[in-house]
Structure formats: structure tokens, C-alpha cells
Chain A
């Protein structure tokens, strides 16, 4: 049955890259961790682990930085194409 086959054609760009998907799940874990803290243990976000700045700001900035780092990593890993 045609619909039982994966219709994506490897290498034609119509499928997401496995490397990209792996990095995506890494970021989902980071983002999910932040959301869990905000929703379940917001008191932990008031802790100041570094430079007198609280975890809410450090984690938030870290998420923004992580997006950039993962994006650059992805570009480097896919530089063969």
C-alpha cells in the first residue's frame, strides 16, 4: 500500500535532517526544563548562582545563547552539503 511507505526521498531536501532532529530534541529538553521550573518550582529561579544574577535571567539568556550555539553547530555539521 503506497501510504504505508515513507514517501520521503533521502537527499532531495524534502525530509528534515537526522542531525537537525537530534539537535531539536536537545533544545526541547532545555526549553522544557525551563518551563518546568517556571511552572513547578519558581522559587528556584530566584536563586543567584552566578554574578549576583538570578537563575531566571541566567537560564533565559542561556536558552537564547543555546539556540545560537546549536544553530552554528548544525551549520558546521551540515557543511558537506
Chain B
């Protein structure tokens, strides 16, 4: 769809970006040390850090991807919300305090605290980079999706704008500016999603909302000719002749009689009314011929009760195929295990002063993130019935929902969504920058550096990662961002969690075991993804049937594999390890809490 650019949207967006950059430059004026650049001197207040956790974690996948998935497929998007939040339980109860006590700047510090092994640092640094890059892709894709309706610029411009802005944020003041950007973003996101939810409930449900007088059940077709020209139902696409926005209610529950609107509803009333309504969702089907690629969008009448139970997107839950069910179980396992294995989340434990502060900030993070994920259900369902959805872009559901209320709210929500991307990407680039400068250059290659040189190398790494992120954001532009982020969780959980958990709970863990587990988990999950049916279809353009793995999400196989490899290699090497005296007790990297 062609979206109109509004002056208000441009003004608010520009103010957001300039505000964030101004803050970064202001924070960056003070002289920096490596401890300041990589860990904000460990002096961030636990409450600020907790909200910054939310700002770091609630990525484009959470905001744009989940809302879009719920809006187009119903309940299944909410399963991501449940899984994403559940992962914080692992972080709080198992990982938070030990990782704070054992590490200094990066996740590799903690894993290597007992062994001082270059092999561990190398393996963990590479896994940090791989996970961060996989996590960067959906953020950049989200940025590209947002820029089109917001500023009228092409996808590539959004990706480049985010890449440049984030790189500037990171290189100006490192973890200090990153933390404050994430704090502002986390606060704005939760508050404005709350406002949007209140507006949804206040509006209630309405028949054919926003599309009065139109026929909601007429299919529509978009054709992209070989020359790139776009046709809508056979005529050139323009602002006056475009695809119709979709997503409406066809019938309200019988208890509302002939009324075309329910009026304001409470949260449970809203969900109950939706369950008893008839809703029009849209299916798309593509085919190609000599005239180009045709995508037909067809309305499908569905009962609300069918949309509000699992199975709308994860088809295996309804077809009963074992492989599809395993695929779903694998994803949910990866979401549960992945949060506590994400390097950009783990490094935030080094920005507070002690383990108690790490614990408190995680609780604050869980509160903010939990509230947000409850709101995603209302945002997605509100978008589904707003009559404002773009059938060509699932990632735009939340901003277009805001547009159904007012252009100003659309501008604010889009700008917040953009800030969402900035906050998460800056965290990812910080994690990658630390992995390159602190883990690889300093600890693996053994280059002795002054404080100033450590910061300079970190900044150069940030610039390089920014460029990589921009390239990938353009390459993967047609993917749903929630789907992409599932891959990052799988790789993180497979590569990092087994080593981290076993280091904490199994005294016989050896350095060889850790290196082998990280390497095996990372390579096996990566290989599984590259050989899976989803990748065959959506990346290579090949038939799903040619895929070499039985299901697409690797976690169910590769997370246990990581544990198994660690145990076997540790048992095989424990005698040698002990003989060389390299197995030493875990010792805190900082003074233990009082």
C-alpha cells in the first residue's frame, strides 16, 4: 500500500532522533574509560537498569512482529509473548546473580572465569557475534518497514537511517548512552502501548470499522510486472487507486442485537465479545506468469473463538503432524531458554554495582516487559478489527492501528517504534563491539592496549557491525520480524545456555567441554536453520519438501546436543584438565555483595 506522509509524523520522528542523538553526544562529552564504555562503570541504578532491560529486550520483534502476527493470525502471536517473558524466569532465578558476580564486561568473562582459556573466549566471542547479527536482522527489517509510511522513503532508507543513528549512539558514549536510550525507549513503549490499549477498549468493537460503505468481502490483487510496475486489480497503483486496508468485524455477538458497535468495553468483556464475533481476516496467495508476480488477497470469514485459540499460524497444532508439533515445541523451548543466553541482555548485568542490584533490576524488567506483553494481545486484536491493516505488510499492524485513531498518534507510535529499533540495535552493537575488542583483540589475540585504544577498537567494531546490520536489513526485507528473531533465540540458547548452566551447576565441567558445547551448539543450530524448510522456501526460493531437516526450529535437538557435548567432552578431558591444574573454583570478578 502507498502511505501518505504527514508533516506531524516527520516532525515528531525528527524530534525523537535528534533528541536521542543529542543525549548521546551530551553523555559522550565526559572523558571515557574502558569500564565506562563497556559497562557504564557499573554505576547504573537498578531501577533504571530494569527499565533499560525492557528497552533492550522489547525489540521490533516484540512490538511490530507480535502485533502483526496477532492481527493477521490471531492467538499464535501471543504465544511468542508468553515464551519471550518466560525466558526471564531463567534469567532471574538461574543466571542473573552468578553472571554478575563472575563477569566484568562481557559474557565471555563469566564463562571463562574459572579457566582463563583463550579457546573459551574465542568460541564465545564468535557465538556472541553470530547471535547478535541474527538478532540485528529483524530489527533492521522493522526499521525499513516503518520508514515507508512514516517518511515516505524506501525500505533501504529506513535501514540506513537506523544503522547510522545507532552507530552514532554507540560510538559517542558506549554503554552509558545505550542505557539511557533504552530507558527512554522502554518507558515510552510501555506507556504509549497502555494509552493505545485504553483507546482500543474505549472504542470497543464495531462492524466494518473504518471501512463503512465498502464491501469487506471483495478480493483484491496486486501485480508486480517484470519491469517493477505495480498494478492493483489490473490498474496502475496510485494514491487514488490502491489496495484497500483490511481487518474488520463482519458480525457482532447476538447479544448486541442490531447494534453496529459495542461501545466501551472492559478488558475481559472485549476478549469475550471478540470470541463471539465473526471476523474477516485475509489470506494471500502468490503466482507468477509472463505478466509478473500476482498476489491475490482473499477475505476469509472466521469465528472469533477460532482466532483466539492456538493454531492460526502454527498449523501443526491443528493438523496433528508430529513434525509440525515438534517444530512448535522447539520454538517455545528456544524462547524459554534463549533470553538468558542473549549476549546483549547478559552484558546489562555488568552495568549495575552488585548481584543484589542485578536481581532487583531483573524484577523491574520482568514487570515492565510483562505489562507490555499483556498489552500486545489487545494491540494485535485491536489492529485485527481496526479496518486499517496493510495486507502486504504484517509488521505495520501496530502503527496502522494507531493511525485508525489519529494521525498524531500514528506519528508518535511510529516514532516510538523507531526508537524501539534504536534501543535494541544499540544494545546488540554494544555486545558485538565488546566481543570484538575485549574478547577477541585483547584476550584471544593478546594485544595489550591502553584504555583509550580499547575504546577505539570497540568503536571501530561498532561501525563495522553497523554496516553489516544495514546490509542484512536490506537483504531480508520480506520476513516477519518475529519469525526471524526466533532463529536468534535458537542459536543463543543452543550455543550459550548449556555452557553457562553447566559451569554453574556441574563442577566437572572443563574448558574443553565449554568450547565444544558452544561450538557444537552454535554450528548445529546454524546448520539446522540453513537446511530447514522455512529457509528453503523463504530464503532460497526452493520447495519446502527438499529441506534436509524434519522441522524448522532447531532448539529441541540442538540445546540438548549442547549439554550432551559438554558432558561427554568434559568427562573425556577432566583428568588432563585436573593434572594441568586448570580447573579452579569459580571466583567472583568483583567483590561479593555484602
Chain A residues with a Cβ under 8 A of chain B: 1-9, 11-17, 20-21, 23-24, 27-28, 31, 34-35, 38-39, 42, 45-46, 48, 50-54, 56-57, 60-61, 63-65, 67-68, 70-72, 74-75, 78, 81
Contacts and interface: CB of A to CB of B under 8 A. Distances in A.
Contacts of B309: 42, 45-46, 54, 56
A20 to B, nearest CB: 4
Interface majority SS (helix, strand, loop, mixed), chain B: helix
B86 A74 contact: no
B101 A12 contact: yes
Given A54-B305, A56-B75, A31 B592 contact: no
A65 to B, nearest CB: 7
B370 A39 contact: no
Interface string B561-594: 0000000000000100110010111111000111
B379 to A, nearest CB: 14
A15 B504 contact: yes
A67 B88 contact: yes
Nearest to B270: A53
Contacts of A28: 89
Contacts, number: 181
A9 B272 contact: no
Given A3-B507, A75-B359, A67 B310 contact: no
Contacts of B90: 24
B366 A71 contact: yes
B251 to A, nearest CB: 17
A62 B340 CA distance: 21
B194 interface: no
Nearest to A6: B507
Best-buried of A12, A45, A72 by chain B (most CB within 10 Å): A12
B227 interface: no
Contacts of B101: 12-14
B325 to A, nearest CB: 6
A53 B272 contact: yes
B188 interface: no
Contact of B360 (A14, A17, A23, A75): A75
22 contacts: A3-B578, A4-B507, A13-B98, A13-B355, A13-B592, A14-B113, A14-B504, A14-B587, A24-B90, A31-B89, A42-B310, A51-B269, A54-B308, A57-B78, A57-B308, A60-B82, A63-B82, A70-B93, A71-B89, A71-B362, A74-B92, A74-B359
Contacts of B97: 13, 16-17, 20
Contacts of A52: 268-269, 271-272, 275-276
Given A8-B586, A53-B275, A20 B94 contact: yes
Nearest to A62: B82
Given A39-B325, A39-B329, A45-B309, A14 B98 contact: yes
Interface in B287-334: 305, 308-311, 317-318, 325, 328-329, 332
In the complex, the 4 A-B pairs of residues with the closest C-beta atoms, listed nearest first:
A52-B272, A13-B101, A7-B585, A20-B93
B268 A51 contact: yes
Contact of A24 (B85, B89, B276): B89
B310 A14 contact: no
B551 to A, nearest CB: 13
A10 to B, nearest CB: 10
B508 A3 contact: yes
Nearest to B306: A46
A79 to B, nearest CB: 9
A27 to B, nearest CB: 5
Nearest to B589: A14
B462 to A, nearest CB: 30
A24 B275 contact: no
Given A24-B90, A75-B359, A64 B81 contact: yes
Interface of A, helix, strand, loop or mixed by DSSP: helix
A21 B93 contact: yes
B82 A71 contact: no
A68 B370 contact: yes
Given A14-B586, A20-B94, A35-B332, 8 more contacts: A3-B510, A4-B508, A24-B93, A27-B89, A53-B268, A63-B85, A64-B85, A67-B88
B585 A64 contact: no
A61 B374 contact: yes
Nearest to A12: B592
Nearest to A17: B97
Contacts of A6: 507
Contacts of A39: 317, 325, 328-329
Interface string B490-528: 000000000000001101101000000000000000000
B375 to A, nearest CB: 10
A16 to B, nearest CB: 5
B58 to A, nearest CB: 14
Contact of B588 (A7, A14, A57): A14
Interface in B174-218: none
A70 B373 contact: no
A52 B362 CA distance: 34
Contact of B366 (A8, A20, A31, A67): A67
A66 B383 CA distance: 27
